[in-house]
Amino acid sequence: MTDIAPAPAVPARPAPAKERPTLIRLRDVHKYYGDYHALRGIDLDIREGEFFSLLGPSGCGKTTLLRTIAGFEQPSQGTLSIAGQDMKGVPANLRPTNMVFQSYAIFPHLTVAENVGFGLRRDPRSKAEKARAVAEALEMVGLGGYGNRAAHALSGGQRQRVALARALILKPKVLLLDEPLSALDKKMREQMQVELIKLQRNVGITFILVTHDQEEALVMSDRIAVMFEGSIAQMADPETLYRRPNSRQVASFIGKMNMLPAHVTAEGGRIVVDVAGLGRAEVSPEQAPGGAVTGSTIVGIRPETLGILFPGETTDRRLAPGIVDEVVYYGDMTYYDVRIEGVPEPLTISNKNFIGEPVLDVGTPTQVIWDERSLVVLSR
């Protein structure tokens, strides 16, 4: 069974933080472990107050990059600065960053309040003021009154909240989150996604999230850097990343993408693609974010930008005839795989189920509606 419950409400995304000053700057950062080249020339600017995600499969270097920012790893080459200060030789305890570890690393021999107050040991404030700060931090993450609990008796979600409170109480410039939701079950994960976004908007601190979950990155981030094999493949806001991936690798890592063989020609400054099975179409330069190389290439189309022309309907949009090859019914949606002559793989179409629309059977001849504006040229 697929979860068809509507996603919990998320507060509106504030205006893009494009004008805000850069907080973290990485230039040509490399990291070697012996012969292993873990980071291969990372250039990155993360702005103040931004929710930034490092997204990639395991082993792509995203955690190494996060640990480099935290100060647990030193770059083999290149520079890293936070708030204008070079971080070379600055240990983790002197950086304006705090981290939520994947395991949460809640100290099991201390109470919840002692955990949250751990970073205040060098704080000159009085005991009572510190206790108030701890209580406020616990309140902020929804654990008010949990201060005297033993840390090892907490549930996964509570541990994460304690880890958040423990990091945020120090008012860092940057909060680093290493796969913070991977240990939680699906329901808890979705709830915490929303809470993290709200928290980030309330405190206004820069969040850097490491995740391998593309949906999590899309939901939560202002900007996402997609990493493969130690390099950043694409860095963009979620919508651009989803609609205009700059390579086949990024396109297939984020969401489902139909890939079709195509032939690109440039005709007087216009880009024209001849897509196998669909036909000729003109695309804008933005639809070739990785650059359009003339000749044989691949174009991508997202399943939800395709449609089915049901019996009795008409459209002035472009059509391609095909035969239904596979039907997967999800309740709110139906996924059709439609075989079109000239296209090697059946096209996947996600169709929202409107009232009165039938669910087609396998083998039904049908018409696929498509739009040249949703094509994206994937030369790389």
Separation CA 290–CA 230 (nearest Å)? 19
Q: What are phi and psi of 95, to 5 degrees?
A: -95, 150
Indicate which single residue of 70, 196, 220, 278 sits in contact with another protein (rule: CB under 8 A): 70
Q: Is residue 143 classed as helix, strand or coil in its secondary structure?
A: coil
Tell how far CA 78 is from the center of its chain. 26
- Rounded least distance, CB 97 to another protein, Å: 8
Between 29 and 70, name the residue whose CB sits nearer to another protein: 70
Q: Is residue 84 classed as helix, strand or coil in its secondary structure?
A: coil
Per-residue contact flags (x/-) with another protein for residues 88 to 127, judged by CB under 8 A: ---xxx---xxx-xxx-x-xxx--------xx-xx-----
| Amino acid letter, residue 270 | R
Dig out the tokens for 19 from the structure. 């004008």
Biggest CA–CA distance in the chain, Å, is: 77
- Rounded least distance, CB 112 to another protein, Å: 15
- Rounded least distance, CB 249 to another protein, Å: 31
Between 63 and 193, name the residue whose CB sits nearer to another protein: 63
- Rounded least distance, CB 157 to another protein, Å: 17
Residue whose tokens read 């204008």: 84
Burial of 286 (0-12, 13-18, 19+ CB in 10 A): exposed
Number of residues that bind another protein (CB under 8 A): 23
Per-residue contact flags (x/-) with another protein for residues 288 to 307, judged by CB under 8 A: --------------------
Indicate which single residue of 31, 130, 166, 302 sits in contact with another protein (rule: CB under 8 A): 166
Between 119 and 261, name the residue whose CB sits nearer to another protein: 119
Which 8-state DSSP code applies to residue 303? G
- Rounded least distance, CB 103 to another protein, Å: 5
Q: Tell me the Cα Rg of the chain.
A: 24
Contact set with another protein (CB under 8 A): 70, 72, 91-93, 97-99, 101-103, 105, 107-109, 118-119, 121-122, 152, 166-167, 170
